[in-house]
Amino acid sequence: MKRINRLQFLKMLGCGSAASLAGAAGLWPASWAGVKEPPSELPPELIAEEIESDWLLGHEKWVPSFCLQCPTGCGIKVRVIGGRAVKIEGNPYYPVNLGRLCPKGQAGLQVLYDPDRIKGPLKRVGERGLNQWESISWEQALNEVARELKKLRDKGMPHTLAIMSGRSRGQMVTLIERFLKAYGSPNDLRRDSVATESIKIGNYLTQGHRNYFAYDWDNTNYVLSFGLGFLEAGRPAMRLLRAYGHLHQGRAGRRAKIVQVDPRFSITSAKADEWVPINPGTDGALALGLAYVIIRRGLYGEKFVREQCFGFDEWADDKGQHHQGFQQMVLQEYSPSFVSQITGVPEETINRLAEEFAGHRPAVAIAGRGVSMRSNAIFTQMAINSLNALVGSIGEVGGIWEQPEPPLEELAPVVKDPVAEEGLGHSRIDAAASHFYPLSENVFHRLADRLLSGEPYSLQALFLYYTNPLYSSAEPDKIRRALEKIPFMVSFSPFMDESTAYSDIILPDHTYLERWQDDVPDPAVTFPVFGLRQPVIEPLYNTMNSGDVFLKLAKALGSPMAEALPWPTFVDLIKERVKGLWKAQQNSMGTNGSFEELWNKLLSEGGWWAPVPWEIEQESKPKDGKRFYFYSTELYKRLKAAAEYEQLSQKDLGLSFAEAQERVFVRLGIVARGDKVYMPHYVPLQLIGNKDEFPFHLIVYKTMTQAEGRGANVPNLQEIFGLQVRKQWDSWVEMNPRTAELLGVVDGDEVWVESPVGRLKGRVVLFPGVSPEMVHIPHGLGHQDYGHWAKGRGINPNWLLQDQCDLLGGTAAWFSTRVKMYKA
Amino acid sequence: MRNSGIIRLIVGVVVLVLVGVVGGAYAFRPRPHYVEQPVKFNHLLHHQELDMECSFCHLYVQDYALAGMPKLETCMFCHDEANSPGNPQLVSLIKKANQEGENFAGVKWVRMYKNPGHVIFSHRVHLRQRIECATCHGPTGDSKKPVSADYLITMGQCISCHEARQVSNDCLTCHK
């Protein structure tokens, strides 16, 4: 060894010297649960030989990533010591959560170290549902799947492959889209329609933006929340939690007022400044009643409404036909006394709320699942949006914004071969975007029926990515019978949940703390954000990133899939998209250097965002230059096209346009007629079940810990499941004490809850905050599998829900079930 | 006195016993266990008189539970064969390193402080609180002698210091 000079010595001083010591790793395995401390960067001669085998080097570091415990996707930092993740904290820089993290995020370690995880690829042995598996190698697993896919393609039936994915975002969505396009199947089934998709449609019809809005909470003065669980499962969760604190105490001398309109005295209702109890499903009427007062008393923002909105005043179209304006309609039909009757909200309250809302700008009206899970969701959302238009909160300080997308690099279009072209020519199995559901992108509701009937075709293969339909659907048994008809099912889940237990081959993904992924979070802030997820530790088991699985399958299947997905690994795909961020040059990275620099900064900070106004002007100006449509020209267009299609497709009936339109309206459950159809209006709720036989209205609500239905296998979350009602590790049936008296039950008794489609037994919790006509059961427990902490615990209220949908958008309307109850 | 001889005998025996006890106590008094290291390193000289920081040699303390022992290169920053007064082991090690070049196996330090597998320990967190190395590792830095086995750290020391400074003593703080 030569004598070391200063430069060399200083280089050595830098931590992370290059020598990777696989040998050292073999000498010092950690003694926790089979976790190996990864190779150390320390040179071997520093580590004396007499060390016994279970001493640790204890290398510690913080690795940024982003959370997957709910759709918010908060930035996190994970503390790793000796190769084991020991603590998750919020990433102080990530704009969505700015360093804070809710209990779900904090409990993420228990997802990673869940002892019931699937440890490698599995193949079903014996009948479906017997839950017997043999371990197979990845090679064998991928070969079998590729073989099945090849068979379908060779038979000219690529459209019989469907991939059902949950609320995933980022490049997994891109991969699946491209894979199916190249393969030749239109069946990219996403489960968005079972949640708050109708809010997106409402936003689209009024403002041309088919997404949620971001809110400039820093500057808002008044929040009128129609059932949005600010402090529970509302999304984006952490942003709302911080907003709550900020609005109340974050600004010296200024305190916003938060009003919660909700049939139930939830945690949010309790902590809001005012709770307005309302009859369920009548939020649209209340919004229009408030609009009445605002318009009548001249409290609306004239300039904005007249210049930037369409349809407020009466107007004539190019054929000279006269159309009613929003103003006229509201003043004619939604007087406070009328609205008070429908909603149960006293007139004085309606008047006062309207004055307050219009008088404390910036003010925002916002809605959540309480509005969206109903048969009248879309029109209710439009009504609520109109309040924001009236007070001029759209695209203004303290108001609602469209969050721009980050400028990811465009990918080369997918080149299709004749087999793919033919396959793509078939209609989707769920009839989305068809003339049946002109506004929908996914119609999960129809899927079960179509699969059971086998029309227009049967599915031969189904991939389940990030979704558990046998648990999270209404009428789970119907779904199970539908899935029985599919001969080949593959699941990518890292956990043995109900749907995975029902599949044929399991290709387990890494958990979110072990994998590469990217994200464009749901709208939360007013500027574009891009998150990067990286493995915080080496994968614990023989699992594989599902992105890599798709890439390998594409290669195995050959052309054209292999060309459509040419990337060697999933990280390469992410890197290619990130090139767009690098080119944009205007960002939080502060570096305009090489791509490598940007990538390394992404790795060390966990994301990219561009907090300067990012071409917002361009983004938020819809076509025709109007910002808000009281009269939705878009809806008019779609319904007109549907009527025209109806005329054409039923040519032999010789329908006139008016007749065809009538048929369309009836089929889509539109009860209004005339101009009102295209404007926000109140549609009475459609409940299922005879009121006499089923006297109670069932709402399935979400607590914070089970916001995604995924927390049942996480002990920490089970411990705090029902804090408000002091219940843990179990579900409950929440009812008003008067109801309990009627039924002859007391707190803690068991009671049967029966709907037209199922019945469940649960424990009574008395809670005066529930209306005497309603009953509430929390969502999240009642699993039949999913690990020993989740299995057989609590009840899954989905078994009671009838699979109804908002026909206009094809979105799930599961808050429509009536039930009866009796003592067990 | 008739029994003056016996009394003198008894006194003599008692004195002898006392001398024996005191002498034995002195001879077998508790003394630090010095563990023989391959190089007789003089901490007092380097740390106090030459004002070198602990982390100059124990490099990895920010990122590891194992702070690390210096490679021979670190010593050779100042020392060479000619310039290692009073330390023949160092001289012979340097000679050996120069001869063997790439194949030099390094200094075979005897590791004193070990972090068992059931303990999560973070040096970084403690450094951030500006806790001196000597607080836990004893006055090694002021001693000419090698590190003593008496200064090895046990859980009791962790707990009592945590109590004194009102920091968490929850089991999960260190045993994840």
Could you tell me if B82 lies within 8 Å of chain A, comparing CB atoms? no
Percent of chain A's residues with pLDDT above 90: 65
pLDDT in tens, B121-136: 899 999 999 998 888 8
Model confidence at A615, pLDDT cuts 50, 70, 90, reads very low
What are the chain B neighbours of A86 within 8 Å (beta carbons)? 120, 176
Helix, strand, or coil (residue A189): strand
Cα–Cα distance for residue pair A327/A389, rounded to 1 Å: 12
pLDDT in tens, A25-44: 333 333 344 455 665 555 55
Q: In which residue are the tokens 């008894």 written? A: B10
Helix axes A197-207, A633-649, angle to 10 degrees: 110
- Which residue of chain A is at minimal alpha-carbon distance from B70? A46
Cross-chain residue pair B60–A31, CB shorter than 8 Å: no
Model confidence at A730, pLDDT cuts 50, 70, 90, reads very high
- Measured in angstroms, the CA of B132 and the nearest CA of chain A are apart by 20
Question: Is pLDDT of A174 > 80?
Answer: yes
What are the chain A neighbours of B74 within 8 Å (beta carbons)? 9
| B107 or A640, which is more confident | A640
- Which residue of chain B is at minimal alpha-carbon distance from A1? B101
Q: Check if the beta carbon of residue A98 is closer than 8 Å to that of residue A609.
A: no
pLDDT in tens, A336-385: 999 999 999 999 999 999 999 999 999 999 998 888 888 899 999 999 99
What are the chain B neighbours of A51 within 8 Å (beta carbons)? 111, 114
Q: Which residues of A249-260 are buried (b: 16+ CB within 10 A; e: fewer)?
A: eeeeeeebbbbb
- Which tokens go with A36? 């190996």
- Which tokens go with A761? 């037994």
Question: Is pLDDT of A183 > 80?
Answer: yes
Q: Strand A818-823 vs strand A750-755: parallel, antiparallel, or unpaired?
A: antiparallel
Cross-chain residue pair A58–B121, CB shorter than 8 Å: yes
Minimal Cβ distance to A48: which of B71, B76, B109: B109
Cα–Cα distance for residue pair A494/A361, rounded to 1 Å: 47
Could you tell me if B93 lies within 8 Å of chain A, comparing CB atoms? no
Cross-chain residue pair B115–A59, CB shorter than 8 Å: no
What are the chain B neighbours of A31 within 8 Å (beta carbons)? 116-118
What are the chain B neighbours of A4 within 8 Å (beta carbons)? 73, 76-77
Cross-chain residue pair B117–A13, CB shorter than 8 Å: no
* Amino acid of residue A335: S
Helix, strand, or coil (residue A290): helix
Residues on chain A bordering chain B, Cβ-to-Cβ distance under 8 angstroms: 1-4, 9, 12-13, 15, 30-32, 40, 42-52, 54-61, 81-82, 84, 86
B105's torsion region: left (phi>0), alpha (psi -120 to 50) or beta? alpha
- Which tokens go with A576? 């290619």
- Which residue of chain A is at minimal alpha-carbon distance from B38? A48
Q: Check if the beta carbon of residue A520 is closer than 8 Å to that of residue A530.
A: yes
Q: Check if the beta carbon of residue A567 is closer than 8 Å to that of residue A577.
A: no
pLDDT in tens, A409-447: 999 999 999 999 999 999 888 877 777 778 887 777 778
Suggest the residue from B64, B79, B83, B93 to mutate for an interface test with chain A (most A CBs closer than 10 A): B64
Question: Is pLDDT of A505 > 90?
Answer: yes
Instruction: Give me the residues of chain B with pLDDT under 50, please.
Output: none
Model confidence at A53, pLDDT cuts 50, 70, 90, reads very low
What are the chain B neighbours of A45 within 8 Å (beta carbons)? 71-72, 105-107
* Amino acid of residue A649: S
What are the chain B neighbours of A24 within 8 Å (beta carbons)? none
- Measured in angstroms, the CA of A396 and the nearest CA of chain B are apart by 44
- Which tokens go with A553? 């399958």
Suggest the residue from B58, B63, B128 to mutate for an interface test with chain A (most A CBs closer than 10 A): B63
Other beta carbons within 10 angstroms of residue B126's beta carbon come to 16
pLDDT of residue A82: 82
- Which residue of chain A is at minimal alpha-carbon distance from B121? A58
pTM, whole model, 2 decimals? 0.86
Other beta carbons within 10 angstroms of residue A478's beta carbon come to 18
φ/ψ of A752, rounded to 5, equals -85, 135
Q: Which residues share a beta bridge with A310? A: A629
Query: According to the 3-state scheme, what is the secondary structure of A575-632?
Result: HHHHHHHHHHCCCCCCCCCCHHHHHHHHHHHCEEECCCCCCHHHHHCCHHHCCEECCC
Percent of chain A's residues with pLDDT above 70: 90
Cα–Cα distance for residue pair A724/A768, rounded to 1 Å: 12
Cross-chain residue pair B111–A50, CB shorter than 8 Å: yes
pLDDT of residue A618: 45
φ/ψ of B148, rounded to 5, equals -95, 145
Helix, strand, or coil (residue A761): strand
pLDDT of residue B38: 85
Distances, alpha carbon A145 to alpha carbons A163, A559, B25, B65, B120, in Å: 13, 16, 80, 46, 43
Minimal Cβ distance to B63: which of A2, A45, A61: A61
Cross-chain residue pair B73–A9, CB shorter than 8 Å: yes
Cross-chain residue pair A46–B68, CB shorter than 8 Å: yes
What are the chain A neighbours of B105 within 8 Å (beta carbons)? 45
Cross-chain residue pair B109–A46, CB shorter than 8 Å: yes
pLDDT of residue B148: 74
φ/ψ of A177, rounded to 5, equals -60, -50
Cross-chain residue pair B106–A46, CB shorter than 8 Å: yes
Residue A364: name the closest of A257, A462, A449, A262 by CA. Answer: A257
Cα–Cα distance for residue pair B125/B62, rounded to 1 Å: 9
Residue A197: name the closest of A374, A70, A72 by CA. Answer: A374
Q: What is the mean pLDDT of residues A562-587?
A: 89
Please provide the average confidence, as pLDDT, over all residues in chain A.
88
Cross-chain residue pair B176–A43, CB shorter than 8 Å: no
Q: Is A614 exposed, middle or buried (0-12, 13-18, 19+ CB in 10 A)?
A: buried
Quote the DSSP letter at residue B44.
I
What strand order describes the sheet that includes A188-190?
Answer: A133-135, A122-124, A505-506, A488-491, A461-465, A161-165, A188-190
Q: Check if the beta carbon of residue A689 is closer than 8 Å to that of residue A787.
A: no
Sign of torsion over alpha carbons A54, A55, A57, A60: positive
**What is the C-alpha end-to-end distance of chain A, expressed in Å?**
83
**From A48-57, A125-134, A238-247, the region with the lowest mean pLDDT:** A48-57
Q: Is A37 exposed, middle or buried (0-12, 13-18, 19+ CB in 10 A)?
A: buried
**A102 Cβ partners below 8 Å, 6+ apart?**
A69, A70, A74, A237, A238, A241, A704
pLDDT of residue A21: 38
- Which tokens go with A169? 């975002």
pLDDT in tens, A770-784: 999 999 999 999 999
- Which residue of chain B is at minimal alpha-carbon distance from A14? B59
What are the chain A neighbours of B69 within 8 Å (beta carbons)? 46, 48
Cross-chain residue pair A82–B120, CB shorter than 8 Å: yes
Model confidence at A616, pLDDT cuts 50, 70, 90, reads very low
Cross-chain residue pair B121–A51, CB shorter than 8 Å: no
- Measured in angstroms, the CA of B50 and the nearest CA of chain A are apart by 18
Cross-chain residue pair A60–B101, CB shorter than 8 Å: no
- Which tokens go with A507? 């290709």
What are the chain B neighbours of A3 within 8 Å (beta carbons)? 76, 80
Quote the DSSP letter at residue A776.
E
Cross-chain residue pair B176–A32, CB shorter than 8 Å: yes
Cross-chain residue pair B63–A59, CB shorter than 8 Å: yes
